[in-house]
Structure 1
Amino acid sequence: MYDSLDQNVITSGEKGAKKTVILTFDDGPGRVLPKLLDILKKEEVQAMFFWQSRLLYKERPWKRVLDEGHLIGTHSCKHPNLTKLSYTEQFAELEYSKQKIHEITGSPVIYFRPPFGQYNLETIKAAQDLGLTTVMWRISSMDWELARHPEKILQNVIQNLENGAIILLHELQQTIQVLPDLIKKIRAEGYEFSLLPPLEK
């Protein structure tokens, strides 16, 4: 479980009468994206995608992502550890990423997830100066370390479920492998799926 005392960083969604969680996928758009979207469509689940803009081409199925009700945020351009950069360098990295995603998709970018989950005061200021809200997570699936043990992805999420939790996942083959079961198990625990509000700042 992760938490932040910084009021400028989001780790959970709204906590209403119904128990909800938010699925988020980092490090795309990648080769498994079509399979990922197929699963989400079949299960009628909407999710948030935090993309590296260097991987976003017009040929990627970004239009399908938006048409099917998902949200796209920035995960920077080249996925650097932003804490090792100056404010000016961080601002330039996020500005370029935001502009490229907007230019290709036509959709305003209002959410940002720091690469490696690493940020400092300059990161938050750069994001705010660009109208971006920084989004972290409450539950990490650790899926990037579990290619040989995908069943542990399920354990990491299900054992830590809580109302409003943002769940960290990635566009990886092992994640695709367990995603249908993960969705079913989350629902079996009485949770529904939601998104952060898609409001332009």
Structure 2
Amino acid sequence: MYDLKDDRWIKNANELKATRKKIILTFDDGPSRNLEAILDILKEKDVPAIFFWQSKLLYKERPWQRVLDEGHVIGAHSLKHKNLVNLNYEEQYKQINKSVEQIEEITNNKVTYFRPPFGQYNEDTMTILHELGLTPIMWDISSYDWVNKDTPEKIVCNVVNHISEGSIILLHELEQTVSILPTLIDQVREKGYELTLLQ
């Protein structure tokens, strides 16, 4: 279960390094058909992001090279997006390790970050991440973009009204997220924040 008080997970960039007026955008559940549109916006706005991918959705024809070339980071989000707390140790290990292996095999790029599906984890998860040398990354601000398909303006409010120094923002590769992303970036910057990566 996602525990905001569990300090083993990075939920805010200030936990890594002082990041005055900086926040991080993260996108879960890709790579999807909306990835190119997201990348176009990020490129136009000159914003880096972290993408947490299900490895079952990644194949060589996906624009993964563009993601890396344009300065973004790819993290693992499990093999098939199963709730890890419902799996035994061996099944969890497979979901996590296979996702890392598949992403690294296709991209030839080392994966260092992991985020569990649904933000759910247990002690087995933590043991496996430690064994595999993965840095666990959560978030401290959820956009709730997946529940605001018909009211995308709420996505912007959910983020902009709650950000603070070092916030890690949870977004998804969804159509409604694409539609509000330029506005979201602009409003974050209007509040004096820089969009960056974890250091």
TM-score, structure 1 length as denominator?
Answer: 0.95
CA contact (8 A) 1:3 1:138 kept: no
1:32 matched to which residue of 2?
34
Residue 12 of structure 2 aligns to which amino acid in structure 1? S
Residue 98 of structure 1 aligns to which amino acid in structure 2? V
Q: Helix, strand or coil for the counterpart of 1:9?
A: coil
1:4 matched to which residue of 2?
4
1:116 matched to which residue of 2?
118
- Structure 2 CA distance for aligned equivalents of residues 36 and 75 of structure 1: 18
Residues 3 and 183 of structure 1, relative CA distance in 2, 3 Å threshold:
farther
- Structure 1 CA distance for aligned equivalents of residues 71 and 36 of structure 2: 15
CA contact (8 A) 1:111 1:132 kept: yes
Residue 188 of structure 1 aligns to which amino acid in structure 2? E
Residue 7 of structure 1 aligns to which amino acid in structure 2? D
Could you give the per-residue CA deviations for residues 48-84 of structure 1, whole angstroms, max 9, x where no partner exists? 0000000000000000000000000000010000001
CA contact (8 A) 1:3 1:137 kept: no
CA contact (8 A) 2:22 2:193 kept: yes
CA contact (8 A) 1:20 1:191 kept: yes
Work out the number of aligned pairs and report it: 196
Could you give the per-residue CA deviations for residues 86-113 of structure 1, whole angstroms, max 9, x where no partner exists? 1111111111000000000011011000
Q: CA deviation at 1:3?
A: 6.2
Identity %: 56
Structure 1 residue runs without a partner (length 5+): none
2:190 counterpart of 1:188: yes
Could you give the per-residue CA deviations for residues 127-150 of structure 1, whole angstroms, max 9, x where no partner exists? 111111111100000000010000
2:38 counterpart of 1:74: no
Q: CA deviation at 1:17?
A: 6.1
- Structure 2 CA distance for aligned equivalents of residues 17 and 41 of structure 1: 22
1:57 matched to which residue of 2?
59
Query: Considering only aligned residues, what root-mean-square deviation do their CA atoms show, in Å?
Result: 1.2
TM-score, structure 2 length as denominator?
Answer: 0.96
1:13 matched to which residue of 2?
13
